[in-house]
Amino acid sequence: MPSPGGTVRAPERGARRGITWDTPPVESTDEPQHPQYFHGTRATLRPGDLITAGHRSNYRDDVVMNHVYFTARRDGGGLAAEIAALLGPEDAEPHVYRVEPTGPFEDDPNVTDKKFPGNPTLSYRSTEPLRILEEVGDWTRLTPAELDLWRERLAAMRESDAEIIN
C-alpha cells in the first residue's frame, strides 16, 4: 500500500532497508534509527499478541473495521487509548503498546485526508495484524478537562453519524 512517497512500507524489525521516510531520520544516539509504532486501546494484551482487523469501530458500533490503526507518536497512541477507554465499559483502562506491523500499511485517510494533510500525526492503518512488542507507560495522560472535552466531541460525532473511511 502506498506511503506518502508512493512506495510500499516494509515492516522489517530493526532494519532501515525498505522503509521510506519523507525526510531522512536524524542521526542521534538518543533516538532509535528506525520508526517505532504505537497502538492505543482498552484491551489488556501481552507481547506477541496480534491486533487484527475485523472488530467493531469504537466510534460507530454498526461498522466492522477492515484495518488496524497505529501511529509513530507515543502520545497519539495515548490519545487513542484514552478515547477507547472513554467509549468502553465504565471501568475500562487505557493501554498503549509498542507494535510492529506485520505487513504493508498506508497513511490513515480518516486523519490525513480529512483533518491533517501530509500526515503530521504520523497515523497509519493496515489490513495486516500488528504484533505487540511491549506495553509502554510513559505517554501523556489527558487532564480531567480534556477528558470531558473528548466526551463531548465523541457524543457529537456519534450523533452526526460521521463517516469512517473503511
Q: Which residues of the chain have pLDDT under 50?
A: 1-29, 31
Alpha helix ranges (H) inside 1-88: 74-87
Q: What is the pLDDT of residue 161?
A: 62
Give me the phi and psi of 97, to 5 degrees please.
-120, 140
The predicted model scores a pTM of 0.72
Q: What is the pLDDT of residue 16?
A: 32
Residue 139 and residue 159: Cα distance in Å, rounded? 30
Beta bridge partners of 146: none
Q: What is the pLDDT of residue 25?
A: 41
Q: What is the pLDDT of residue 55?
A: 85
- Residue pair 134/97 in contact (Cβ under 8 Å)? The answer is yes
Parallel, antiparallel or unpaired: strands 123-126 and 95-101: unpaired
The topology under which CATH files domain 37-160 is: ADP-ribosylation fold (3.20.170)
Q: What is the pLDDT of residue 147?
A: 87
Q: Where are the domains of the chain?
A: 37-160
